[in-house]
Amino acid sequence: MVTGGAGFIGSAVCRHLIATGNYTVINVDKLTYAGNLASLKPIDNNPAYHFQQVDICDGARILDLLQRYDVEFVMHLAAESHVDRSIDGPAAFLETNVVGTFSLLQAARSYWEALPAERAGAFRFHHVSTDEVFGDLPFDSGIFTEETSYAPSSPYSASKAASDHFVRAWHETYGLPVVLSNCSNNYGPYQFPEKLIPLVILNAMEAKELPVYGKGENVRDWLHVEDHARALETVMTQGRIGESYNIGGNAERTNLSVVEAVCDILDKAHPLAGDAARRDLIRFVTDRPGHDRRYAIDASKAERELGWSPRETFESGLAATIDWYVNNEWWWRPLRDTRYSGKRLGMAATTKQVST
């Protein structure tokens, strides 16, 4: 069971798991604004893939699905995830990320406690979280490890931190076999257009302004979503019960350098009329409240214990991502035209998508 499987990372996980041929995948998604079933089109007709439109807060329906499909693994990605939206409307983040995780844990616990011993021993609950729970780092030092203290800065990251604590508590109190992972900023195909990289790609393709917060100095570690999907399968199947694993791309970049890289790749592959430079479209805008300075992930534990490491460099992954958006207007055009104006949220689009 993948919760939030119609979101950016969740859909990548569903596509990856089905591609291995080793799993039957039950995608559970409420289909909020960022949930998009078009992202599942490559696997929609696969007999091993099943979609269920269910809210994770509905514990009775979740328990029914766990029992109906004899679920062995739960990978929990469903969450409200955009920082700006959490500042404007924090209640939804509390409901989905905290209450929803609680409801899911209760359903998983009831299901697991009723399983025969052998199947109970194989069951895993994998909670997928974010590096934003750790707060931020100075520009010139420090890195997040699994032992870093939590210090969330936004309603979004506070809600994710709370959900992480609930998952650990259900392991310590009830023995539920859990594993956790915290990821850095994801990018790649099928990412909702309010996020930094797709927003910049699409605006730059159309020669529109490219809004950047402050001076663009904020630093993020970038992880290609397909590398993340491989990591999540590995943590789910090989991670030690009760442990957490940081997943990062070893690719720290300032937001400004990310925007400039997109401009340069598009200028070379798809030049504007008169060879105008897309960097000239960059506009610096007022920073958002509580904007974390820098995130940096130490993924050595996952590399050492699980043998996982990213395959994509930032350069190779970004080039492939730009190429995907150039060639897949069928996916992003309906979102851009009907579901998302890009006028306000684009200015804040510096965070990762971890959910529906």
Where b means 16+ CB within 10 Å and e means fewer, 255-292 reads bbebbbbbbebbbeeeeeeeeeebeebbeeeeebeebb
Q: Which entry of 131, 136, 164, 292 is annotated as an active-site residue? A: 131
Active site residue 132: yes
Active site residue 131: yes
Q: Which entry of 55, 132, 194, 233 is annotated as an active-site residue? A: 132
Active site residue 156: yes
Q: Which entry of 23, 49, 111, 156 is annotated as an active-site residue? A: 156
Q: Which residues form the catalytic set?
A: 131-132, 156
